[in-house]
Structure formats: structure tokens, C-alpha cells
Amino acid sequence: MIRLFVTGSIICASMESIFPGYIVDILCPPARIYEEFSTGRAGSTLEVDMYVPTKKYYGFYIDLKFDRTDSNARSHIQTLAGTDEFDASGVMTNNGIAIPLILYVGKIENNREIEISSTTIRQEHLEAYWSDTFEKRITGITLEAGHYHLILKELEDIEQLNGVPVYFSVKEGTRK
């Protein structure tokens, strides 16, 4: 048995083909994406590739950032992000600003791309917040091991997002 620990997902993927016929136990880090996404204008697009080492459920998020020392900035971003309050029936009462998006997920196999999901998202909801970030959940998908191509596209002009640092993140998640 060959046991390797690598920090890059490209290496994780390629090691499986380097040692054909051997049991290769590769300790790969979980897939994770954290990329700045230029928002505010319809058509803004972000494309990223990622490698998923094992079948897992992944959450897809939009992170709205602010300067933690600026209380006005925090208040503005909180208004955009919404709150985590629910009514008596379990429905979130304030989702904040809607950021209409298309999220495309394609799996790359045998030098071609197979569409796994193409979803139009009309409203995200506040998932979490930290000292400088409000995180809005887009969706969640179970992904098999393999290479993936992701495209995130903004559908409408949203002036309120001009000047706001926005990040697209993908990480192992729990079902919601």
C-alpha cells in the first residue's frame, strides 16, 4: 500500500492514475472554494474548478464581507444579508436582499463535461455570520468523487452590492 498526504487537490486526482494496479491511500483535504465574486451587474460571472476526493454533501454560499471596525458597514451588510429569525411556522422572516443567480455544476469525465445541476436561485437565506462576514446559503448538493466545473452568474443589476466585497464559497456541509 502506498500512503501519501498531499495538500493540493490536483495532486490527489493525478496520484490515482500514476500508480495503476496499486492500492493508493491518498489523504486528500476536502474540496473547498473561496473566490471573490464581482457582483452588482447582471452577467457578472465566476468560473472555478474543484476536485472532490470522496462523495460528500457540499453547501454553496455567498459571503458578504465588511470591515469589522466599521459599525455602519456592518449594519449595511446585515440589512443586505437579512436575519436568522423565524416566525412561529418556521419560515425565515427577513431574507435580506435577493441576489438572483444561476449556479451551474458540471462533472468532468473522460475529457468531457456532464451537467450535474443548473439551478436558478431567486432568494438565498442567512446561514451564519462572523465578525466580518454574513454568509447566505445558495443551495446544497451531494457530489461524487471527481473533477467539477462551477459557474456562478448574476442575473440582475443590484446597485446595493456595488462596493461590497462578495465571495463565493463551497464547503462540506450539512443538509438543510
Report how far Cα 164 is from the mean position of its chain's Cα atoms: 18
Sign (positive or negative) of CA dihedral 111, 60, 47, 101: positive
Instruction: Give the model's confidence band at 67: pLDDT under 50 very low, under 70 low, under 90 confident, else very high.
Output: very high
Element (H, E) at 16: helix 9-18
Is residue 44 pLDDT above 70, yes or no?
yes
Is the model's pLDDT at 57 over the cut of 70?
Answer: yes
Note the CATH architecture for domain 31-172.
Answer: Sandwich (2.60)
95-141: pLDDT as tens digits: 899 999 999 999 999 989 999 999 999 888 888 889 999 999 999 99
pLDDT of residue 18: 54
Tell me, what DSSP letter sits at residue 46? E
Rounded distance, CA 120 to CA 102, Å?
4
Domain layout of the chain by residue ranges: 1-29, 31-172
How far apart CA 34 and CA 171 sit, in angstroms, is 9
Query: What band does 27 get if pLDDT is binned at 50, 70 and 90?
Result: low
